[in-house]
């Protein structure tokens, strides 16, 4: 098994705070932030996000300043909106589970009758969720977001425009690589009156992909779609009796399954980017990160 970082506790120059999230640690260093994941998953997520942030910066400003290490991004410290912008091009996952239960409305968006699982929507729909610090995010409609004062109407409508434009760009890039961008989520923040795209973008943790080749054939035959996402981890947890409910214990993952997870993340990286994944040096990871970050920070602060 490759060495994996599950916890960090750096003390960088001018560091103001450290936030330990579910999938990354976020350091506030003189109002720039450093999120970090774990190898090789962390490296995959960081490098895919890095590519897509660069590929979409003409659509909306984003938080990235520099990527000094395969596992680290330095970015602007912004005031985040308390809502995640989930956009769905296909009736899959949570939307399908709601649909199958008889619902035809999700987050204030109407879903047509007569659809089947994994079918493409006539047009992508935005199904926002509240951004929970603990527990699960909750579905919410545009009307409720505005009514509760979570986001001003004019700003929310701008986020909608950015979300659809980003999804269109991601869909086009995925198609060139033989993939379908099924659904994804975007997060935004604001700094000095400017809206920024933040966090990761078009990664397997924030997105679901199908293989384009054979999609229609599988749909016509009612065969499960071949997908690249973290859904297989969720399915494994459910099959092992874990649904994230109070009192439930996460089942122990075998070394073999952990290696399968790494392989799936690397598979997506190579499919979506077209590049061969280069595993970062697994020795002295924390020392490497600290050296690379401090070196870059000396140029920035």
Q: In this predicted model, what pLDDT tens digit does every residue of 216-248 receive, in sequence order?
A: 999 999 999 988 776 777 777 788 888 777 777
Beta bridge partners of 19: 26
Range of the domain at 91: 81-236
C-alpha to C-alpha distance for 49 and 64, rounded to whole angstroms? 10
C-alpha to C-alpha distance for 259 and 1, rounded to whole angstroms? 8
pLDDT > 90? residue 107? yes
| 2 within a domain of the structure (yes/no) | no
| 246 within a domain of the structure (yes/no) | no
**Entry pTM:** 0.84
Long-range contacts of 227-234 (CB under 8 A, 24+ apart): 227/182, 228/179, 228/204, 228/264, 228/267, 228/268, 228/271, 228/272, 229/182, 229/204, 229/268, 230/204, 230/205, 231/93, 232/264, 233/261
The DSSP output letter for 234 is H
| 224 within a domain of the structure (yes/no) | yes
- pLDDT digit string (tens) for 159-212? 999 999 999 999 999 999 999 999 999 999 999 999 999 999 999 889 999 999
| 197 within a domain of the structure (yes/no) | yes
| 256 within a domain of the structure (yes/no) | no
Of 24-28, 149-153, 286-290, the poorest mean pLDDT is in 24-28
Is the CB of residue 5 less than 8 Å from the CB of residue 42?
yes
| 43 within a domain of the structure (yes/no) | no
| 13 within a domain of the structure (yes/no) | no
Residue 175 sits in a domain of what CATH number?
3.30.470.20
| 218 within a domain of the structure (yes/no) | yes
- Smallest Cα–Cα separation from 169: which of 47, 60, 43, 44? 60
Token couple for 16? 């103001």
H-type alpha helices, 140-230: 142-147, 153-176, 215-221
Q: What separation in angstroms does the CA of 213 have from each of 157, 175, 192, 226?
A: 35, 10, 45, 10
C-alpha to C-alpha distance for 36 and 30, rounded to whole angstroms? 17
DSSP string, 21-72: -SS-EEEEETTEEEEE--TTHHHHHHHHHHHHHHHTTTTS-BSEEEEEETTE
The pLDDT confidence band at residue 254, using thresholds 50, 70 and 90, is confident
Q: What is the pLDDT of residue 21?
A: 57
pLDDT > 50? residue 33? no
Average pLDDT, integer, range 20-45: 65
C-alpha to C-alpha distance for 171 and 6, rounded to whole angstroms? 32
Q: Where are the beta strands (DSSP E) in 149-286?
A: 179-191, 194-198, 207-211, 227-228
The number of domains in the chain is: 1
The pLDDT confidence band at residue 1, using thresholds 50, 70 and 90, is very low
Torsion of CA 241, 245, 246, 249, to 10 degrees: 30
SS3 content of the chain, % helix, strand, coil (to 5): 35, 25, 40
């Amino acid at each position: 098994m490759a060495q994996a970082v599950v916890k960090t506790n750096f003390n960088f120059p001018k560091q103001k705070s450290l936030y330990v999230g579910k999938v990354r640690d976020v350091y506030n260093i003189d109002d720039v932030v450093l999120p970090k994941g774990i190898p090789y998953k962390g490296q995959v997520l960081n490098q895919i996000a890095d590519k897509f942030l660069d590929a979409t910066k003409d659509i909306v400003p984003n938080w990235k300043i520099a990527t000094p290490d395969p596992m680290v991004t330095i970015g602007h410290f912004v005031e985040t909106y308390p809502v995640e912008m989930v956009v769905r091009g296909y009736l899959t996952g949570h939307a399908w589970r709601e649909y199958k239960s008889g619902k035809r409305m999700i987050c204030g968006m109407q879903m047509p009758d007569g659809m089947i699982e994994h079918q493409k929507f006539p047009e992508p729909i935005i199904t926002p969720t509240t951004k929970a610090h603990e527990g699960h995010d909750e579905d919410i409609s545009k009307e409720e977001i505005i009514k509760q004062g979570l986001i001003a109407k004019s700003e929310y409508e701008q986020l909608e425009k950015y979300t659809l434009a980003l999804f269109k760009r991601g869909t086009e890039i995925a198609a060139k690589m033989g993939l379908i961008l099924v659904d994804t989520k975007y997060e935004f923040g604001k700094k000095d009156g400017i809206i920024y795209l933040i966090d990761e973008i078009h990664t397997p943790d924030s997105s679901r992909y199908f293989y384009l080749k054979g999609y229609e054939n599988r749909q016509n035959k009612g065969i499960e779609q071949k997908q690249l996402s973290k859904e297989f981890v969720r399915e494994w947890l459910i099959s092992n009796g874990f649904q994230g409910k109070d009192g439930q214990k996460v089942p122990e993952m075998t070394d073999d399954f952990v290696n399968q997870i790494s392989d799936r993340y690397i598979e997506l990286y190579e499919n979506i980017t077209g590049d061969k994944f280069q595993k970062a040096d697994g020795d002295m990871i924390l020392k490497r990160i600290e050296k690379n970050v401090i070196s870059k920070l000396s140029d920035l602060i």
